[in-house]
A and B are shown apart, each in its own frame.
Chain A
Amino acid sequence: KAGVTQTPRYLIKTRGQQVTLSCSPISGHRSVSWYQQTPGQGLQFLFEYFSETQRNKGNFPGRFSGRQFSNSRSEMNVSTLELGDSALYLCASSKLGDTEAFFGQGTRLTVV
């Protein structure tokens, strides 16, 4: 079956702009989590959605937001981009309660 699909794979944005990243989970998975990966901070949890509701949130500013649709697809949005937002953004999906997360290949965001 198809894995977790993230689009786009690469993005270049200018400071101050906003960006939307998309994640399609594995069929049947209803939980979607987002992580930011940078060389300095490593892998950090952004937020997790289940049934269109945010269940967990990491320690990121309000510029980072997300949502989940009824088909479990999820988007994350970053507004007023800063240079420090340059990172690999990873999406993971899981069955509720399984905790075994399957990751997509990520979206590489570069802010210039």
Chain B
Amino acid sequence: AQSVTQPDIHITVSEGASLELRCNYSYGATPYLFWYVQSPGQGLQLLLKYFSGDTLVQGIKGFEAEFKRSQSSFNLRKPSVHWSDAAEYFCAVGNFGNEKLTFGTGTRLTIIP
């Protein structure tokens, strides 16, 4: 069965600092990987996705993620965070032809001035 682990429940970073959110997955085949962001009381917004090809993917809002098969990881990065990035971030795994997504438990990001 597929699973996703986000080891960091809560991360606090200073505005302007770099950010890396960790995600590890367990999946038998080549996974489809996603990062979503959720503001309080809102739905999920897709930041970026990896299906195949270049292992470094660019997303919206200046985010990027790198797929590392050998480490079963898909970490999210941003070189310089903004106060508006404060939210909860979810990593998810899916597979082609199956719309079911399996989500990690999320990482809550707090930005301090």
Q: A interface vs B, CB < 8 Å?
A: 4, 6, 31, 33, 35, 42-43, 45, 48, 50, 55-56, 58, 88, 90, 92, 94, 96-97, 99-106, 108
Contact of A103 among B43, B97, B104, B105 (CB under 8 A): B43
Chain B residues lying within 8 Å of A103, measured Cβ to Cβ, are: 36, 43-45
Instruction: Report how far A35 CA is from B38 CA in the complex, Å.
Output: 14
A100 and B43: CB pair below 8 A? no
Dominant SS at the A interface? strand
Chain A residues lying within 8 Å of B51, measured Cβ to Cβ, are: 99
B99 and A104: CB pair below 8 A? no
Interface: B35 (CB within 8 A): no
- In whole Å, how far is A18's beta carbon from the nearest beta carbon of chain B? 24
Instruction: Report how far A57 CA is from B48 CA in the complex, Å.
Output: 25
- In whole Å, how far is B26's beta carbon from the nearest beta carbon of chain A? 16
- In whole Å, how far is B80's beta carbon from the nearest beta carbon of chain A? 27
B96 and A99: CB pair below 8 A? yes
State which size class the interface on B falls in: 20 to 34
In the complex, the chain A residue whose C-beta lies closest to that of B45 is A103
Chain B residues lying within 8 Å of A31, measured Cβ to Cβ, are: 99
User: Which 4 pairs show the lowest CB-CB distances between chains A and B?
Assistant: A43-B103, A103-B43, A103-B44, A105-B43
Chain B residues lying within 8 Å of A106, measured Cβ to Cβ, are: 41-43
Contact with A along B44-67 (1 / 0, CB 8 A): 111001010000000000000000
In the complex, the chain A residue whose C-beta lies closest to that of B39 is A105
A105 and B99: CB pair below 8 A? no
Chain A residues lying within 8 Å of B42, measured Cβ to Cβ, are: 105-106
